[in-house]
Structure 1
Amino acid sequence: MAAQHSQGIQTLLEAEKEAAKVVQQARQYRVQRLKDARSEAQKEIDEYRKAKEAEFAEFQSSHAGTTQNVQATIDKQTETQLQAISDRYATHKDTVVRKLLDRVVLVEPELHRNLKKRE
């Protein structure tokens, strides 16, 4: 009976070792699956990022021309307005200077209004 008991224990130990191997393989398989899933997800993320960056670059290039055109139009309008201001300045400069000098130089002395009331 001791031999059978010893053989039963031996069988149980071997079954336990086999079970440990199966559990270890299952863990390794799970870890490998997780790694594969992560790398697959990273590839999908990279592809999506590249697609969105390409889409954004296309959007930028299609709208960059309009931005430059608008800027050129604004620059032309600004130049036109500056030229108009310069022309008006040149035209009215003498008149304004003459009016200023007349106000400063041609002073008509008169009594203050309070002094007039006293008289």
Structure 2
Amino acid sequence: MSSAHQLDGVSQLQQAKAAATAKIEAARARRIIRLKQAKDEAKLDIDAYKQEREAGLKELELTLGQSNTDSDHKIGAFTRYEMSNMQLLYTQNKEAALATLLREVLTVTPSVHRNMRL
């Protein structure tokens, strides 16, 4: 009976080992599934965060773009005003500047240079 009892014990150990192996494999499979789910959830969170940041960036670009457009219009208007003002001043002072230049060039008073010894 002893050997029959030992065979029973060996078969029970083999069954227990098979059951333990099955439980370990099932636990590994569950762990792999949980890891995949966690990875998928993290990817969804990352995508949502990325979309949120891109929307904020586009909004900021629009705001700054409008600001630049307003600045461009203001600078353009100021430049046109200054150009017309300079053109007006040129027209008003052209004859006087030319007359002064001609007077200085044509009016020569001969004199001896101060370094010249007599």
Pair 1:90-2:91 in alignment: yes
Cα distance, 1:50 vs structure 2: 1.8
Alignment-mate amino acid for residue 42 of structure 1: K
Alignment-mate amino acid for residue 110 of structure 2: P
Question: How far apart are the structure 2 equivalents of 1:93 and 1:6?
Answer: 125
Residues paired across the two proteins, number: 117
Pair 1:70-2:79 in alignment: no
- 1:20 maps to which residue? 21
Q: What CA deviation, in whole Å up to 9, does each residue of 1:3-46 have, x standing for no partner? A: 22222122112211211111111111111101101101111221
Alignment-mate amino acid for residue 97 of structure 1: L
Cα distance, 1:62 vs structure 2: 4.4
Alignment-mate amino acid for residue 62 of structure 2: S
Question: How far apart are the structure 1 equivalents of 2:7 and 2:104?
Answer: 131
**Cα-Cα RMSD:** 2.1
Alignment-mate amino acid for residue 83 of structure 2: L
- 1:102 maps to which residue? 103
Question: How far apart are the structure 1 equivalents of 2:99 and 2:3?
Answer: 135
- 1:37 maps to which residue? 38
Which runs of 5 or more structure 1 residues have no equivalent in the other structure?
none
- 2:52 maps to which residue? 51
Runs of 4+ more than 4 Å apart: none
Question: How far apart are the structure 2 equivalents of 1:8 and 1:107?
Answer: 136
- 2:9 maps to which residue? 8
Q: What CA deviation, in whole Å up to 9, does each residue of 1:71-118 have, x standing for no partner? A: 211210111011111211222222223322333332211111244xx5
TM-score w.r.t. structure 2 length?
A: 0.81
